[in-house]
Amino acid sequence: MSARVKEELKTEVEKLKQSGKTTGLAVVLVGDDPASKVYVRNKEKACEELGIYSEMHRLPETTTEEELLALVDRLNSDENIDGILVQLPLPEHLDDSVIINNIRPDKDVDAFHPVNVGKIMIGDYDFLPCTPAGIMELIHESGVSVDGKECVVIGRSNIVGKPMSMLLLHENGTVTTCHSHTQNLSGVTSRADILVAAVGIAKFVKADMVKPGAVVIDVGMDRDENGKLCGDVDFDEVEPVAGAITPVPGGVGPMTIAMLMRNTVTASKKHKK
């Protein structure tokens, strides 16, 4: 599915090129977080596939806030750059929100800037956060309508949990957001027709937490007791119960990258009129 989205985008990028307009994405990586390095490499590869001009700015762990803001400022005014993505998490001495707030909203292809978050809240947006947007595409692809369904999101992060709940609500789902203070969690999750797990704990969701036939979306990227990549859902246990389930790896991840590319092309089309 992500390949299909990318194929459509490739055509759009080519059309822009033919009219003399490039599409550009700048990715900023501060420090040596191994997971972040993998994500950045995947984004670089996707840009190459689609013919998108990309700049990778790899900065040392010791980068100061002033230095990072100076780079963001330069990218904000660079006409070759349509999208700016600062890879999170940043090293502890840097404040995520200060950096995000300084990215121009029309170049904020992660959709984390308060202006874009507000637009998503009211349902009048230019960009959607990449992971929730990819999840909605997966739900639509599976032929499931969100309208009137019980939807449960485990996790309330600004990156996935909160915007995910909002997108389900926009499509008339009845949405419950669960978190570490939720009481009787399995009682709540086992009512869900659509269950999204974005909690960051390996194999957290077990079969007794899932309603038979439910759509189960696993956002987690964890390591199990043997150091093997796994998700927030115990796939082997839940798969026989679920009506549809995303694997880890290879489920939500490729869709997240595809949606980032879509946001970049959307930004490019807006900038190039």
pLDDT, one tens digit per residue, over 109-127 is 999 999 999 999 999 999 9
Clarify whether residues 172 and 223 are in a common domain: yes
Same domain, 24 and 86: yes
Answer yes or no: is 262 within a domain. no
Domain around 242: 130-252
Percent of the chain past pLDDT 70, that is, above it, reads 100
Phi-psi region of 184 (alpha: psi -120 to 50; beta: other; left: phi over 0): left
Domain CATH code at residue 80: 3.40.50.10860
The whole model's pTM is what? Answer: 0.94
In the annotation, is 272 catalytic?
no
Residue 74 sits in the same domain as residue 164: no
User: Residue 235: is its pLDDT beyond 90?
Assistant: yes
For residues 79 and 154, state if they share a domain.
no
Cα angle for residues 207, 209, 212 (degrees, 5° grid): 65
How many folded domains does the chain comprise?
Answer: 2
- Does a structural domain hold residue 194? yes
Specify whether 55 is located in the same domain as 143. no
Residues 137 and 248 occupy one common structural domain: yes
Gap between the Cα atoms of 127 and 139, Å rounded: 18
User: 3-state SS of the chain: helix, strand, coil percent to 5?
Assistant: 45, 15, 40
197 part of a folded domain: yes
Helical pair 252-271 and 130-141, crossing angle rounded to 10 deg: 110
Show the beta-strand stretches assigned E in 203-249. 215-218, 222-223, 229-230, 244-245
pLDDT at residue number 272? 83
DSSP state letters, 72-101: HHHHHT-TT-SEEEEPSSPPTTS-HHHHHH
Is 27 a member of any domain?
A: yes
Q: Are residues 163 and 210 in the same domain?
A: yes
* pLDDT band per the 50, 70, 90 thresholds, residue 273: confident
Q: Which of 70, 105, 140 is the last residue of a domain?
A: 105
Is the pLDDT confidence value at 204 over 90?
yes
The answer to the question of residue 111 being in a domain is no
CATH number at residue 207: 3.40.50.720
Q: Are residues 248 and 166 in the same domain?
A: yes
- What's the pLDDT at 234? 97
Q: Is 110 assigned a catalytic role?
A: yes
Query: Could you tell me if 177 and 99 lie in one domain?
Result: no
Hey, CA dihedral for 68, 54, 200, 225, is it positive or negative? negative
Q: Which of 82, 106, 108, 110 is catalytic?
A: 110
Please list, in sequence order, all residues whose beta carbon lies within 8 angstroms of the beta carbon of residue 270, skipping any fewer than 6 positions away: 106, 126
Q: Are 189 and 154 in contact (CB under 8 A)?
A: yes
Residue 273 lies in a domain: no
- Which of 43, 107, 203, 211 is catalytic? The answer is 43
The verdict on 96 and 167 lying in the same domain is: no
Q: Is residue 272 part of a domain?
A: no
- 69 located within any domain: yes
From the candidates 87, 108, 203, 211, give the one annotated as an active-site residue.
Answer: 87
Residue 227 has pLDDT above 90, yes or no: no
Q: Are residues 73 and 183 in the same domain?
A: no
The answer to whether 120 touches 148, Cβ cutoff 8 Å, is no
Question: E strands of the chain, at which residues?
Answer: 24-30, 53-59, 83-86, 150-154, 174-178, 194-197, 215-218, 222-223, 229-230, 244-245
Supply 151's token pair.
């939807």
Residue 123, judged by CB atoms within 10 A of its CB (0-12, 13-18, 19+), counts as: exposed
Q: Are 190 and 101 found together in one domain?
A: no
